A = this chain, B = another copy of it.
């Protein structure tokens, strides 16, 4: 039997974001481990390549000049400057994979996600939330990498970022990594069944044989 419904999906971009410290990286890693069919979006950067990093795998490495030209040509879904280095999400990599029917995952902060939404509102936006703010603070404190002032700044930013939850399609509470991953997994499965992502459903059921 021809399984047209498995072949004709357009694929989509799933943007996963949330406040700093909520555990985006850990959840994203566990998700990619669970679902081998997902494609992780690769960022572009102007920073120097570190030992062991591979161009086109860890990052796409660009010169300031090339990066600037790409910004001008609108070749990024979003871009930002962090500590004097530029980072961005190349549109082509995402779009090529989406067209091939792949589900592309982009892990990014709220500001970046809102830029992506302007460029590509067909993406699926998922905000990862902490169960509550005390828990978020605990998690940041437990990393033991930030000063008290840094922690306070992160908490202040988290408060602002929460305002954007209404711009997202879904929210997932990261109480445990396993549950968060299985919630996102269900969202991906459901989105694969969206009528709006398919063309010619009727024609496929008819199979050209019954009209």
* Contact residue among B1, B198, B201 (Cβ-Cβ distance under 8 Å from A135): B1
A195 touches B169 (CB 8 A): yes
Cα distance A63–B206 in the bound complex, in angstroms? 42
Please name the residue on chain B nearest to A208 by beta carbon: B132
B172 lies within 8 A of A183 (CB): no
Within 8 A of B (CB), among A165-211: 165-166, 168-173, 175, 183, 185-187, 189-191, 193-195, 198, 201-202, 205-207, 209-210
Contact B3 A205 (CB under 8 A): no
Interface assignment of A80: CB less than 8 Å from any CB of chain B = no
> In the docked arrangement, what's the CA distance between A185 and B173, Å?
19
Partner of A163, one of B190, B198, B202: B202
| A82 contacts B by Cβ under 8 Å | no
Residues of chain A from 130 to 176 with CB closer than 8 A to chain B in the complex = 130-135, 159, 162-163, 165-166, 168-173, 175
A5 near B: Cβ within 8 Å?
A: yes
Residue ID in chain B nearest A167 by CB atoms: B195
Work out how many copies of this chain go into the complex. Answer: 2
Chain B residue contacts of A185, Cβ below 8 A: 186
Q: How far is the CA of A206 from the CA of B5 in the complex (A)?
A: 42
Which chain A residues in 109-143 approach chain B with CB under 8 Å?
126-127, 129-135
| B133 engages A173 (CB within 8 Å) | no
**A residues at B contact (CB < 8 Å):** 1-5, 126-127, 129-135, 159, 162-163, 165-166, 168-173, 175, 183, 185-187, 189-191, 193-195, 198, 201-202, 205-207, 209-210
A-B contact pairs, 7 of them (CB 8 A): A1-B135, A5-B173, A129-B201, A133-B210, A134-B207, A163-B202, A172-B193
